[in-house]
């Protein structure tokens, strides 16, 4: 049986994994054949934006503040 | 090793469990959640797989996701920037869509299953397709071709594979064609242009094509040109799928081919407009086939191998598959029962087992029945509670009874054993009917399936009788094992097989071996003894807009909401209490009791 975890706990696990995934994307862009290194700052900025989206989805009380950024 | 494969977040999500190198369970999320084409994270499917094998999540050695989300994000980002400023409207939506959930798959899988992030692995989308096609096929060496709309970057790949008995497996990729140049996207663009749902209704375009003539081939060839290296490239001036999510085709496309079809208006083939749409479908179908045949021919020359394994959503195109078999030079063509994204769940798990972990090759069962089982006793209980006529009997008596029902033009909902994995009903969740008259086809369309008149129904025939009724070779029967090819109905039988013969004289036939579904094979024989023709109409057991039924209770619900006459699950046969047949049979039973 799969144990049901609360939204906050799941959100924290996802949040914890994002740094590794972002680093993986950055590594991929750095080593890409088609020379996409210039994309790295934008990609990392977007990933950080993604982190905020995860925080907004996980801690509902913060969501209005985070969404107000946009 | 216990390896869980997952495909999700695009369309038709699924999970598959491989234990000791052999799949033990695979199921699409839609069959459990009851939302057609469910793309959500397949938690129900994963739970079903783990329960089936009595495995806890912490006993999994690896969980494999069927594509690399970060590579896909790289493509979305790059394409959005390339298409700037046209893409500015789609850009925020695409970013929110990806960054809100899809790119963080390692964390999402860990958070749901409680497995450490190190156990979560990724394969490339087309590697998953290639593995699903090659590793499940009964061949040791084969050329491999995969084609779909898009994975991460690849839209089509060619390569080869080799399995050494109890040894190592290799899958090599020679070349790939990259987004936005995509045969799948070309076909999907026409699907949208013709007023159907993209990524869902492509088979309707194939069905419509038979009503038209490829008179617009020259125009379609302007959209896709062959390149000197043997590949192809789309003329992006005619498309918008790479810049916006709103529309797939551009104004230039409309200038070239005329106004698109209004999805809310039915296609009337008696009008010139309706015929134009059919001609469009026929033309894109012809161009797709020609391109695939040329690519496959080149692959055959390059590899010199007799077998071709086909994967990806494009491999669902049975007309193209049959042409590949006939014209590419390959002696055999293998298409798995789930060549689309759902099948990637099995493909990614097998790829991980054979290639990543280097486990020895295993021969796999050659069938599509990897889902949960239907329980006849559950059906009997439900039907008795509602006062319907229920009969429970052993196999041979039941098969005789159902053959009588079918010969009397009754429509039968047929459930047995494990659910099929993939989009086709192949004899475990089927609606069966007599295939002889157009009245039966119209009745099914009108009263049960509620679908467009131009769409054909498929037949099922035993392998022993296939060549008598269909123009099909031995290699063709292999392609037809999972209903993956379209073949001509022999001219002399078309008048007696009207319900399953398409307007162009073909049928997407399933050729059944006794060992794959013994009871359905026995039913075909019993039906043949009564009518002289051992062929049945076989369509998926669902109503319009619903996924194929899974458990007996869903079959029962579908039975009650439609005009299916007889429902069978395992050894249980049910008739509606209001039907004249049920009353007759009840009277007969009473008489027999009185005599006794």
Quick: pLDDT tens for B509-549.
Answer: 999 999 999 999 999 999 999 999 999 999 999 998 899 99
CB contacts, 8 Å: B103 with chain A: 21, 25, 47, 50
Note whether A28 contacts B71, CB cutoff 8 Å: yes
What is the nearest CA distance from A10 to chain B, expressed in angstroms? 5
pLDDT of residue B343: 97
Note whether A46 contacts B99, CB cutoff 8 Å: yes
The reported pTM is 0.92
Q: B358 and B375: one domain? A: no
B131 located within any domain = no
Q: B208 and B95: one domain? A: no
Question: How far is residue B314's CA from residue B320's CA, in Å, rounded to a whole number?
Answer: 9
Quick: pLDDT tens for B52-84.
Answer: 999 999 999 999 999 999 889 888 888 888 877
Note whether B114 contacts A3, CB cutoff 8 Å: yes
Q: B468 and B583: one domain? A: yes
Name the closest residue on chain B to residue A58, using Cα atoms: B100
What is the nearest CA distance from A3 to chain B, expressed in angstroms? 7
Q: B12 and B37: one domain? A: yes
Q: B476 and B586: one domain? A: yes
Note whether A46 contacts B78, CB cutoff 8 Å: no
Residue A69's pLDDT band (cuts 50, 70, 90): low
Note whether A2 contacts B47, CB cutoff 8 Å: yes
Residue B97's domain comprises: 2-66+68-122+347-364
pLDDT of residue B518: 96
B385 located within any domain = yes
Element (H, E) at B310: strand B307-311
Q: B433 and B356: one domain? A: no
B167 located within any domain = no
Question: How far is residue B327's CA from residue B321's CA, in Å, rounded to a whole number?
Answer: 10
Indicate whether A54 pLDDT > 80: no
pLDDT of residue A34: 61
pLDDT of residue A66: 66
Quick: pLDDT tens for B209-261.
Answer: 999 999 999 999 999 999 998 899 999 999 998 887 778 999 999 999 999 99
Q: How many domains does chain A have?
A: 1
A49 located within any domain = yes
B175 located within any domain = no
Q: B432 and B568: one domain? A: yes
| Whether A17 contacts chain B with CB within 8 A | yes
B466 located within any domain = yes
Residue A25's pLDDT band (cuts 50, 70, 90): confident
Q: B353 and B421: one domain? A: no
| Mutate which: A11, A23, A24, A32, vs B, most B CBs within 10 A | A24
Residue A27's domain comprises: 18-67
Q: B85 and B207: one domain? A: no
Q: B352 and B387: one domain? A: no
**Which has more confidence, A65 or B382?**
B382
Count of Cβ atoms closer than 10 Å to residue A23 Cβ = 13
B386 located within any domain = yes
Q: Which tokens is B13 given?
A: 């999500």
Q: B467 and B539: one domain? A: yes
CB contacts, 8 Å: B49 with chain A: none
CB contacts, 8 Å: A38 with chain B: none
Q: B499 and B457: one domain? A: yes
pLDDT of residue A70: 61
CATH code, domain with B277: 3.30.420.40
What is the nearest CA distance from A65 to chain B, expressed in angstroms? 16
CB under 8 Å to B316, separation ≥6 — which residues? B202, B203, B339, B340, B423, B484
B90 located within any domain = yes
| Whether A15 contacts chain B with CB within 8 A | yes
Closest of B113, B119, B78 to residue B98, by C-alpha: B78
Question: How far is residue B511's CA from residue B114's CA, in Å, rounded to a whole number?
Answer: 43
Indicate whether A16 pLDDT > 90: no
Residue numbers of chain B with a pLDDT score lower than 50? none
Q: Which tokens is B36 given?
A: 């057609």
Q: Which ipTM score applies to this complex?
A: 0.77
A12 located within any domain = no
Q: How many domains does chain B have?
A: 3
How many CB pairs (< 8 A) connect A and B?
86
CB contacts, 8 Å: A25 with chain B: 70, 73-74, 103
A10 located within any domain = no
Question: How far is residue B325's CA from residue B377's CA, in Å, rounded to a whole number?
Answer: 43
């Amino acid at each position: 049986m799969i144990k049901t975890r609360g939204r906050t706990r799941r959100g924290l696990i996802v949040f914890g994994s994002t740094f590794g995934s972002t680093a993986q994307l950055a590594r991929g862009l750095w080593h890409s054949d088609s020379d996409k290194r210039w994309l790295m700052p934008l990609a990392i900025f977007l990933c950080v934006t993604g982190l905020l989206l995860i925080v907004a989805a996980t801690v509902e009380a913060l969501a209005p503040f985070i969404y107000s950024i946009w | 090793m216990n390896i869980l494969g997952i495909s999700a977040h695009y369309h038709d999500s699924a999970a598959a469990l491989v234990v000791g190198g052999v799949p033990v369970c695979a199921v699409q999320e839609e069959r459990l959640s009851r939302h057609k084409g469910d793309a959500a994270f397949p938690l129900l499917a994963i739970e079903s797989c783990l329960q089936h094998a009595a495995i806890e999540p912490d006993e999994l050695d690896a969980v494999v996701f069927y594509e690399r989300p970060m590579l896909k994000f790289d493509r979305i980002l790059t394409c959005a920037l390339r298409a700037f400023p046209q893409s500015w409207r789609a850009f925020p939506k695409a970013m929110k869509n990806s960054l809100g959930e899809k790119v963080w798959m390692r964390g999402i899988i860990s958070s749901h299953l409680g497995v450490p992030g190190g156990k979560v692995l990724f394969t490339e989308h087309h590697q998953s397709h290639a593995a699903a096609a090659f590793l499940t096929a009964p061949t040791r060496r084969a050329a491999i071709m995969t084609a779909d709309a898009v994975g991460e970057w690849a839209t089509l790949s060619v390569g080869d594979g080799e399995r050494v008995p109890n040894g190592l497996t290799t899958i090599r990729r020679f070349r790939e064609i990259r987004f936005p140049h995509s045969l799948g996207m070309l076909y999907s663009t026409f699907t949208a242009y013709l007023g159907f749902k993209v990524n869902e209704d492509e088979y309707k375009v194939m069905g419509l094509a038979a009503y038209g003539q490829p008179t617009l081939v020259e125009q379609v060839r302007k959209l896709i040109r062959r390149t000197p290296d043997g590949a192809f490239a789309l003329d992006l001036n005619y498309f918008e799928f790479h810049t916006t999510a709103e529309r797939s085709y551009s104004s230039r496309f409309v200038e070239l081919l005329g106004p698109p079809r209004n999805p809310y208006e039915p296609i009337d083939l008696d009008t010139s407009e309706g015929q134009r749409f059919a001609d469009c479908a026929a033309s894109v179908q012809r161009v797709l086939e020609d391109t695939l045949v040329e690519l496959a021919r080149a692959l055959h020359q390059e590899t010199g191998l007799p077998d071709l394994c086909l994967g990806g959503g494009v491999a669902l195109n049975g007309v193209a598959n049959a042409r590949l078999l006939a014209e590419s030079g390959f002696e055999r063509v293998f298409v798995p029962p789930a060549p689309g994204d759902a099948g990637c769940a099995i493909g990614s798990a097998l790829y991980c087992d054979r290639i990543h972990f280097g486990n020895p090759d295993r021969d796999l069962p050659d069938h599509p029945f990897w889902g949960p089982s239907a329980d006849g006793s559950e059906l009997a209980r439900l039907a008795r509670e509602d006062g319907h006529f229920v009969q429970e009997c052993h196999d041979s008596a039941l098969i005789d009874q159902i053959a009588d029902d079918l010969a009397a033009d009754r429509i039968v909902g047929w459930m047995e054993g494990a659910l099929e994995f993939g989009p086709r009903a192949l004899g475990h969740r089927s609606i069966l009917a007599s295939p002889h008259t157009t009245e039966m086809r119209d009745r099914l369309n009108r009263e049960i399936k509620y679908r467009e008149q131009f769409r054909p129904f498929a037949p099922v025939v035993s392998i022993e009788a296939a060549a008598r009724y269909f123009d099909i070779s031995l290699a063709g029967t292999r392609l037809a094992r999972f209903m993956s090819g379209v073949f001509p109905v022999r001219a002399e039988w078309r008048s007696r097989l009207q319900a399953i013969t398409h307007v162009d004289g073909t049928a997407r036939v399933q050729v059944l071996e006794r060992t794959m579904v013994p009871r359905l094979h026995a039913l075909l024989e019993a039906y043949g003894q009564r009518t002289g023709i051992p062929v049945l109409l076989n369509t998926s057991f669902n109503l319009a807009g619903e996924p194929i039924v899974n458990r007996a209770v869903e079959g029962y619900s579908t039975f009650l909401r439609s005009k299916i006459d007889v429902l069978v699950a395992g050894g249980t046969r049910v008739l509606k209490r209001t039907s004249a047949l049920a009353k007759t049979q009840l009277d007969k039973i009473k008489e027999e009791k009185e005599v006794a």
